[in-house]
Structure 1
Amino acid sequence: MRDALLLVAVDPSIGGVLVSGPRGTAKSTAARSLAELLPDGHFVTLPLGASEDRVVGTLDLDEALRGGEVAFSPGLLARANNGVLYVDEVNLLADALVDVVLDAAASGINVVERDGISHSHAARFVLIGTMNPEEGELRPQLLDRFGLMVQLENCFDAEIRQRIVKVRMAFDMDPHALRASYAQEQQRLAQRIREARAMLPGLPFADDVHPTISRLCIEAAVDGMRADLVMMRSARALAALESSEWVTHAHVERVAPFVLRHRRRDGADAPGNDAANESHARSEQSPKDERQSAAESLQANGTANHEDTEADWGYLPPEPVGLSTVKSVIPLSALSAKKR
């Protein structure tokens, strides 16, 4: 998760990070801690109950029709410019709003149009969306538009759990002392991001980068070309973070799991799995085996749907929350204990 957050901090055009995982796995903590590593260091939360006008901003049409200048009231996208836009429980947000946010994250520009009048402004922010898969999934069309995805799991390593608890307890007892102990490491991280952003445009690609990206995306049987572009940008961001002279296939291989996790087609679970081999295996299956597999799948799906229905009975969606200013957060460098 830390690696993925640093990549989008270097190049927000990657399209943001979707962090999926169960409750209590530091999703929100990591998102808040990233903001202070950025030059402007501000953190904007998009609440579930936000209207479209509150997100994109509003235009004063009466003033424009009277011949005056277009009066624009900035929304959350404008406030998040050069900072972090955090969308908690993004899978519960209205699809139309998710679409607008993803458009701005990918282009770096927000365009507001009302009755033939338009206004645009810079909206270059680091997008971080979090979700708990137990509360529902994003539609595939929206899922694909997140640049990177990280899947968190519960930690059952006793040593790591103790390290996590010790860091959190130290922060609760004296947040200023904990932050001071990680101040130098935080400064180094912030400096790495600034230097990486500066060298990003001129970083050359090695000859084997494009073939490696094409191979990995074909093996994953992804839809469209977005995965190729995101993998290219992510590999370049990683190379810049490491002050490399070239973007190499090694950088591509390291970012590929973040790029392909939410885009990989069924049957292409692991790198190197050839879709043609899977198709050949299906062609070798007899009609009887196919009918039996279909029946077993239908029965399993019916059972799962029945269980899901019972588990969701009486479920109430989370209440929308307002914006809040975070005075002090756990430094991102202090979260290294949670990395593995």
Structure 2
Amino acid sequence: MSITKEVTRPVFPFTAIVGQEEMKLALILNVIDPKIGGVMIMGDRGTGKSTTIRAIADLLPQIEVVEDDIFNSHISDFELMSDSVREKVQNGENVNTAWINVPMVDLPLGATEDRVCGTIDIEKALTEGIKTFEAGLLAKANRGILYVDEVNLLDDHLVDVLLDSAASGWNTVEREGISVRHPARFVLVGSGNPEEGELRPQLLDRFGMHAEIRTVKEPTLRVQIVEQRSKFDSDPYVCLREYKEQQDQLKMRISDAQTLLQNVVIDYDLRVKISEVCGKLDVDGLRGDIVTNRAAKAFAAYNSKNQVEVDDIKKVITLCLRHRLRKDPLETIDSGTKVNLVVNEVFGE
């Protein structure tokens, strides 16, 4: 078994980020349980969206992958391995592995569908009978994080493709009757500025959570943020050493939560109350109910509990529902406040 060590430029430590608790919590919960369905982060320019997303990827423990495999295949989980690796494993062949950092893939705004999904070399397939697949960004993002900045400016068709892959965990490419399928299990993170346009409601609904971030107004906090950034830019390694203990603690906490998650339970009466909140808010479909249940379990696991309590639900439910409410132009309160009012009514203060 071989071990690889990647040399990368320093990344701003996640635990050094001041404020933006909502965004940080949404990212942590999606890392604990990727099936929550990703995060949409909407907020002002220059509020540290990209910095925070890169920082969470850097924080995660390394993963074991099959060596020289373009899909970052898992060595034992069939849901996370390519067909060729599965055949080798089933045939009892020896498969070498390597350790890599969790993949963090940026999707550029001008990306084509071929660049995202990958392509099949038709000429080679027809002349030589060899199925050659050129991996796209979805293959590189398997078992990692796929980040789309300015997702509200991305072509709707591409957003659909991303969301379908994120939901199913697989990407299928078909050309001229030739088909290739590979695992594409990733945490989808989108960010955008509301001033540049909103996402269509049916696309927004497909993101598990929606975090809203605002520019910090408190002068002392602003100074603290500027000083942190300046310190990191002048000597990143000093800053990394300073936060190493906090980073390691959070890394361990996330890892423990991932292990504990499958044992977390949520009582029937709490599940009924979650659905009651969704019903009173007139949320279309059942995605809101499902995501809130998942997020509450992930939050309980994050706090080392194997039983979901009311406070766990209250902490995550706004993140899970605010973007699923029907927009009313005459509404005087924002969607987050509306969710909180109904939650307090159903669960009690």
- For Structure 1 versus Structure 2, the TM-score category normalised by the shorter chain is 0.7 to 0.9
Secondary structure of the structure 2 residue equivalent to 1:86: strand
Mapping of 1:1-340 within 5 angstroms?
A: 1-38=23-60, 39=62, 40-66=101-127, 68-265=129-326, 266=328, 269-273=338-342
Task: After TM superposition, give the deviation of residue 135 of structure 1 in Å.
Answer: 0.7
Larger deviation, residues 255-264 vs 240-249: 240-249
Deviations 1:234-290 (A, max 9, x none): 11111111110212332222110101111123467243449xxxxxxxxxxxxxxxx
| C-alpha contact (below 8 Å) 1:57/1:75 kept by paired residues | yes
| C-alpha contact (below 8 Å) 1:13/1:108 kept by paired residues | no
Secondary structure of the structure 1 residue equivalent to 2:188: strand
| C-alpha contact (below 8 Å) 1:219/1:272 kept by paired residues | no
| C-alpha contact (below 8 Å) 2:321/2:339 kept by paired residues | no
Secondary structure of the structure 1 residue equivalent to 2:181: strand
Count of residues paired in the alignment = 274
| TM-score between both structures, scaled by the size of structure 2 | 0.75
**Partners of 2:123 and 2:292 in 1: how far apart?**
45
Task: After TM superposition, give the deviation of residue 64 of structure 1 in Å.
Answer: 3.4
| TM-score between both structures, scaled by the size of structure 1 | 0.77
**Partners of 1:242 and 1:62 in 2: how far apart?**
54
Q: Which residue of 2 aligns with 1:287?
A: none
Counterpart of 1:228 in structure 2: which amino acid? D
Counterpart of 1:209 in structure 2: which amino acid? L
**Partners of 2:160 and 2:251 in 1: how far apart?**
30
Task: After TM superposition, give the deviation of residue 15 of structure 1 in Å.
Answer: 1.2
**Partners of 2:58 and 2:265 in 1: how far apart?**
29
**Partners of 1:89 and 1:14 in 2: how far apart?**
21
Larger deviation, residues 10-19 vs 102-111: 102-111
**Partners of 1:109 and 1:46 in 2: how far apart?**
18
**Partners of 1:187 and 1:53 in 2: how far apart?**
38
Task: After TM superposition, give the deviation of residue 199 of structure 1 in Å.
Answer: 2.0
| C-alpha contact (below 8 Å) 2:151/2:192 kept by paired residues | yes
| C-alpha contact (below 8 Å) 2:265/2:307 kept by paired residues | yes
| C-alpha contact (below 8 Å) 1:21/1:132 kept by paired residues | yes
Two-structure CA RMSD over aligned residues (Å): 1.7
| C-alpha contact (below 8 Å) 2:300/2:307 kept by paired residues | yes
Secondary structure of the structure 2 residue equivalent to 1:252: helix
Deviations 1:14-65 (A, max 9, x none): 1111110111111111011011122333311000010000001111233334
Task: After TM superposition, give the deviation of residue 166 of structure 1 in Å.
Answer: 1.3
| C-alpha contact (below 8 Å) 2:263/2:306 kept by paired residues | no
Q: Which residue of 1 aligns with 2:89?
A: none
Secondary structure of the structure 2 residue equivalent to 1:262: helix
**Partners of 1:52 and 1:167 in 2: how far apart?**
39
Task: After TM superposition, give the deviation of residue 183 of structure 1 in Å.
Answer: 1.0
Counterpart of 2:54 in structure 1: which amino acid? R
| C-alpha contact (below 8 Å) 1:216/1:271 kept by paired residues | no
Which structure would you say has the larger Rg?
1
Deviations 1:117-149 (A, max 9, x none): 221111121211110011111111111111100
Identity %: 49
Q: 1:90 to 1:166 in 2, by over 3 A?
A: same
